[in-house]
Structure 1
Amino acid sequence: MTVSAERPLPLSVAIIARNEEARLPRCLESVSGLAAEIVVLDSGSADATVAVAERFGARVEITDWPGFTVQKNRALVACHQPWVLSLDADEAVSPALADAIRALFAAGDPPRTGYFINRRNRYLGVWLRHAWTPEWRLRLVARDQARWTGGRVHEQLTVTGPTGRLAGDLLHESYDRLDDHLHRTIAYARLGAEDLIARGKPFRAYKLLLSPLGRLMRILLLQQSWRDGWRGVLIAASSMLAAFAKHAFVLEHHLRNTERNRRP
């Protein structure tokens, strides 16, 4: 079936949100008229997130918060269209990406089961050119062939079948304040440590030392984040901190267990 350029595509946009009234309008406006359905899973917002979503014609479902992977799978299941575009509330579809998605559907059903999209990141008010670049994410998928996998953090969308890439970018407003970045860095590091502990991974001293150094070198030198100026240096340093904090939390858990087992 050929899709008219003026008609919404057989596509659901899936978004999970909590207290996103400030960022959600930009996201929803970027897909206005593109998709036949917008689904927002809200996990107990205390602001106007639900009202904002409904103003843009989204179908809102209220849920608890079970973690990123489970919540995004819930959003996938809640979609009714055969194809799903998964977005975060701080992302927007660029005009070039919207054109690429329309072109993909113009001749009928897309030939692959999933499509990677490059995410372009703005950090502390400036678009990055090296750090976190390129950042290909699988986001457009055939609903029945897709699922989210992963632990408490760093969830990943997967599909059964071949994948391709689309032109255009997801425009990501990553962090506009350093304190927000550092706060989330520690929060995600703790979740990562909890995943390691839940899987029974023991503490390894060399990982506490070498993993942060590897992160720093990869971003600062291989990605050449230094070419983004001080912002690139901050990103590399925060990545090093994330790796250190994750293994430090595992060490803390190990020490507490050791002391508990020594008690009479």
Structure 2
Amino acid sequence: MPKVPVSCFIVSKNEGDRIARTIRSVRPWVDEVVVIDSESSDDTVSIAVAEGCRVITQPWLGFGPQKRFGEDQCRNDWVLNLDADEVVTPELANEIIAMFAKGEPEYVAYGMAIEMVYPGDAAPRPLARDHWYIRLYNRRFARFRASPIHDTVETGSHPAGGFQAPVFHYSMRSFADMKRKLDERTWLLVQNSRLDSKFELTSRLFIELPMNFFKYYVVRRHCLGGLRGLRYASIQASYRFLKIYRIWRSAKSRAAGTRDQMA
């Protein structure tokens, strides 16, 4: 398979059970694979090295800063970012190879569909398209945001292109693992929230759960995932509600503390 002038960088921590699958989806056709490991305590590093990757240990800096650090470690300006639970499909690999075979790409950044795979499945549910993210880009013109809680590529005034084929996202080892990750992320969002309007928070307490259940079950078509799709949408909606509830409780506690100081 022909190599393209692209560096793939992967941010990892304790992903020894699944990072090899991610690496093998890109290793045959990218110029290099760089793994930025956040002090894993399992065999993530040894597996990545055995798969032919360059591994750099970097304590966690936050979502955006960690990925910006990864960009800086690559030897090519064109970079492809993957999470350690994502797999580039053969169809997407062929699209990328064909694009570079024609010369310099038309756009400075390219997005792709990210399709989630339920635990135990090999492929996504029908009509899955959970997210669309820019993951392949020229770092001279586009970079990840420096936000500690969001990992989004910013292209400035430059338009972005897109690919037809998806990345498969094996985000959950189990539904219990999904709840653990959502709970951790929810607390992180609470700690960095700027929501302090009592009216807005109270209003969202009533609409957050049904609104998000509709979004995940109908709009994102988890209704086509059978009972697991129903379970997935219910869990996502519950934790979206829990985030607002925790922010509301935090704002209420701050308001009570302010009143006590003024008394």
1:93 matched to 2:88: yes
With 216-225 and 17-26 compared, the bigger mean Cα shift is at: 216-225
CA distance in 2, matches of 1:241, 1:154: 21
Instruction: Decide whether the 8 Å contact of 1:12 with 1:80 is kept in 2.
Output: yes
Partner of 1:81: 76
Determine if the alignment matches structure 1 residue 246 to structure 2 residue 246.
no
Cα gap change, 1:132 to 1:256, in 2 (>3 Å): farther
Q: Which residue does 1:71 correspond to in 2?
A: 66
Tell me which residue corresponds to 1:156. 152
Which residue does the alignment assign to 2:254? 257
Corresponding residue for residue 135 of structure 2: 139
Distance 2:130 2:112 in 1: 10
User: Could you say what secondary structure the match of 1:118 adopts?
Assistant: strand
1:189: which partner in 2?
186
- Residue 111 of structure 1, CA deviation: 0.8
Shift of 1:21: 1.2
Structure 2, gaps ≥5 residues long? none
Q: Distance in 1 between matches of 2:143 and 2:136?
A: 12
CA distance in 1 between partners of 2:51 and 2:35 (Å): 11
1:44 aligned onto 2:29:
no
Q: Judge conservation of contact 2:71–2:139 (CA < 8 Å) in 1.
A: yes
Q: 1:190–1:245: 8 Å Cα contact kept in structure 2?
A: no
**Paired residue type of 1:61:** I
1:152/1:192 contact within 8 Å kept: no
Q: Which residue of 1 aligns with 2:10?
A: 15
Asked if the contact 1:16/1:71 (under 8 Å) is kept, the reply is: yes
SS at match of 2:212: helix
| Residue equivalent to 1:3 | none
Where does residue 165 of structure 1 map in the other structure?
Answer: 162
Q: Does 1:129 find its partner at 2:125?
A: yes
| Distance across 1 between alignment mates of 2:249 and 2:130 | 35
Contact 1:151 1:195 in 2 (8 A): no
**Are 2:219 and 1:228 aligned?**
no
TM-score by structure 2 length?
A: 0.90
Deviations 1:152-203 (A, max 9, x none): 434212224121111322121121311111111121112122221xx36434
Provide Cα deviations, 1:77-129, integer angstroms capped at 9, x if missing partner: 21120200100001111111111110010011111111111122211223433
Alpha-carbon distance in structure 2 between the residues aligned to 1:165 and 1:134: 15
Aligned structure 1 segments of 4 or more residues deviating by more than 4 angstroms = none
Q: Give 5+ residue unaligned stretches, structure 1.
A: 1-5
CA contact (8 A) 2:130 2:220 kept: no
The whole-number CA distance in structure 2 between the counterparts of 1:171 and 1:233 is: 20
Mapped partners of 2:240, 2:148: distance in 1: 16
**Within 2, Cα distance between the matches of 1:260 and 1:121?**
43
Cα RMSD of the aligned pairs, angstroms, is 1.9
Choose between structure 1 and 2: higher strand proportion: 1
- Structure 1 residue identity aligned to 2:108: T
| Kept in 2: contact 1:152–1:191 (CA 8 A) | no
